[in-house]
């Protein structure tokens, strides 16, 4: 009987460890952090070619009119959990989603939003580049520099020129001094420029300077990947671009 009790205790401990490991895995699939009042940055994890998992930042804003998403979960399995969490936590539904460029970490699973009746938006450049990519076509077109209001929040969509892609935009919240840079902006912890497959590194520096001139008083700058601590991501992006340019000239 003593052996049976010990065996049962061991099995219970093993099950508890497995449950804890599963809970940690689920928790890591979707992380939501409060940036400031009404602003939340959420992080999901996409799979790279080498099998590793890489974090991707997106954001949502709680307004009196409903919740506005900026970009989508890279991990599409987290789309519905995110929508359910938003509704449960804030008592509001998502009323719109803006994609900041055509890559999968910004457009994957848009069809899931459409199925729930949530309208999706992007500039025309992004819609053109998204054509033929299943589930990733934004429904509506935004002007390349436009400001609109959702509840008390003013939201400005701004196309600075080519950079990470030829269609990348940033989103500015003038009343809160929040700049969502997406993949156009590198985190201050970034050691390199990352995925340059569709980048225009020659024009990217000029595009960054346009953003710096347009929004010089940004208190928060949210990059597409990595930490958003500090507000020096734009200058860090320029530093990396200059370093790569100098390295290219030496070759």
For the residues 46-63, what does the mean pLDDT come to? 89
Q: Is 114 known to be catalytic?
A: no
Question: Which tokens hold the place of 155?
Answer: 């939201």
Distance, CA of 241 to chain centre = 21
Q: Which residue has the higher pLDDT, 52 or 174?
A: 174
pLDDT the model gives residue 48: 76
**Calpha distance 223→162 (Å, rounded):** 16
Residue 12 above 80 pLDDT?
A: no
Per-residue pLDDT, averaged over 92-100, amounts to 98
> What whole-number distance in Å separates Cα of residue 221 and Cα of residue 92?
25
- Check if 101 is active-site: yes
Of 38, 57, 71, 164, the active-site residue reads 164
Name the band, by pLDDT with cuts 50, 70 and 90, for residue 191: very high
**What pLDDT is attached to residue 25?**
42
Domain segments of the chain: what residues? 28-250
Task: Please name the residues in contact with 203: beta carbons below 8 A apart, sequence gap of 6 or more.
Answer: 161, 162, 163
pLDDT at 35: 98
Res 14: pLDDT:
45
Q: Which fold has domain 28-250?
A: Metallo-beta-lactamase; Chain A (3.60.15)
Catalytic residue among 38, 71, 75, 105: 105
Mean pLDDT of the chain: 90
pLDDT: which is higher, 157 or 6: 157
Q: Is 90 noted as a catalytic residue in this protein? A: no
Task: Please indicate whether residue 103 is annotated as part of the active site.
Answer: yes
**Averaged pLDDT for residues 72-100:** 97
């Amino acid at each position: 009987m003593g052996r049976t009790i010990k065996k049962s205790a061991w099995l219970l401990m093993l099950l508890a460890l497995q449950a804890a490991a599963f809970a940690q895995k689920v928790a890591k699939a979707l992380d939501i952090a409060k940036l400031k009042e009404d602003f939340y940055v959420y992080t999901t994890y996409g799979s790279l070619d080498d099998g590793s998992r890489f974090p991707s930042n997106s954001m949502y804003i709680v307004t009196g009119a409903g919740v506005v998403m900026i970009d989508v979960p890279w991990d599409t399995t987290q789309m519905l959990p995110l929508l359910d969490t938003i509704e449960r936590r804030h008592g509001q539904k998502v009323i719109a989603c803006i994609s900041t460029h055509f890559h999968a970490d910004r457009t994957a699973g848009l069809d899931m939003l459409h199925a729930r009746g949530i309208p999706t938006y992007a500039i025309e450049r992004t819609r053109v580049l998204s054509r033929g990519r299943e589930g990733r076509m934004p429904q509506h077109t935004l002007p390349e520099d436009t400001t609109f209001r959702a509840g008390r929040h003013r939201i400005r969509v701004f196309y600075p020129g080519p950079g990470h892609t030829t269609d990348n935009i940033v989103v500015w919240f003038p009343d809160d001094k929040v700049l969502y840079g997406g993949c156009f902006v590198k985190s201050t912890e970034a050691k390199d420029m990352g995925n340059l497959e569709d980048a225009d590194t020659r024009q990217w520096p000029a595009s960054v300077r346009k953003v710096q001139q347009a929004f010089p008083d940004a208190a928060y700058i949210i990059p597409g990947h990595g930490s958003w601590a500090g507000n020096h991501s734009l200058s860090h992006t320029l530093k990396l671009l200059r370093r790569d340019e100098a390295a290219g000239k030496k070759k």
